[in-house]
Structure 1
Amino acid sequence: MPGQENEQIEDLEARQALLSETGGPTSREPSPNPDSMGANARAVGEARSKGDSIAGTIIFGSLATVVGTTWAVVLSNNPSKLGWFAPHPLLQTLGLSLITYGIYTLQPTSFADPRGKAAGLSRHQIAIFCLGLPCLLVGSWSIWHNKELFGKPHITTWHGTFGAACLLWTFFQVFIGIGSVWFGGRLFGGGMKAKAVWKYHR
């Protein structure tokens, strides 16, 4: 009957409107188009960028606190009298900061932006391999040398144990990173084999 049919149509339209308001599926929902998909990608990118900005503020604020406090304490206590101990806290905190920056600088990059990704990888490698790791090595050597001068045993505290473990882990990560990326990952068989190893580095 016409009246009953009109009621059914109105009821269907009301349910579709309700589903649209609550985000549910509707039978009239348009299929996605490239423009809307691009807008969604931009929205996701903006949200990610905002998240990266917040994370960056927390990370660099924390690093500034650690480095600033450590350097202030060491440099304000006549470091020349501290002998070879003095470079240890200075270089370890600096190295830690550089490595943290090297990790962070890759996070906002995307494969959708090859140039940005390549630039991020360059910053990552320079900050960690060329700057951060040498700082850690020299800083670790300085405390080792200082103990040798005074005939003291090595790695006798939790501080020393965790420090040595972190240094070894850093070397391991650098090895995995270099082996899976440099020269096409030839060290680990190249191609997909190298990528399979790289995910553990990541």
Structure 2
Amino acid sequence: MNSRNVVHLFMTTLLVGGVTGALAGFIVRWNEFQSYFTSFQIVSIFSTFIWLFGVGLIFSVISQAGFFAYLTIHRFGLGIFKSVSLWNAVQILLLLFVLGDFIYLRYTNFESGEGLAPYILLALFLLGAGLIVAYFKMKQTNKQTFIPALFFMVVATIIEWTPVLKGNDEAWLYFMLFPLLFCNAYQLLILNKLINRSQQELASKRNVVKVDGKMKNVVKGQS
């Protein structure tokens, strides 16, 4: 992917994070901000939106760091295991392990009489979101991308989510979760389009010409 499309990915993912962060913030913390709307406090609404948008940008940066870290790990995994199917099997095992720990550790640390159900439901929600995004990624590319996409959507999101998981504040949990999910899904689904665009742009800069009976690649604009 060329530098222009890398910048495009960075900026658009920032926008996704900012917008979803602002929307999620208003929704999950509605009790705090409801009075601004009922009394038409435009300045308060705008300043709150800017703050939530800014926090969403931070969540987006965390998501992008996790995405590029996973791309690196994915290449290492393919190199170590020498087989896509074997590497996918390893990712499935790691995914199950992380989900199990996600449920068990949160339950043992924060259990407050509600039982195990809320912790299982949150994990199932995350898994369901990952399955949906992985399905669309598979339809977009091929079957081999389903497991990596699912692994990234679940495992990477949990790792990126760690700062607020430690506090177990419900408002912050969902405030951070939705920007992470949307940013992670956006990056997964837009990546191939940007790679293809980069290849097309590179091809358009090259012109095959015949010199002394041989075909040579000449870059447009250069002699």
- TM, length-normalised to structure 1: 0.28
Greater RCO, 1 or 2 (C-alpha within 8 Å, sep 6+): 2
- TM, length-normalised to structure 2: 0.26
**Which has the greater radius of gyration?**
1
Which has a greater percent of strand? Answer: 2
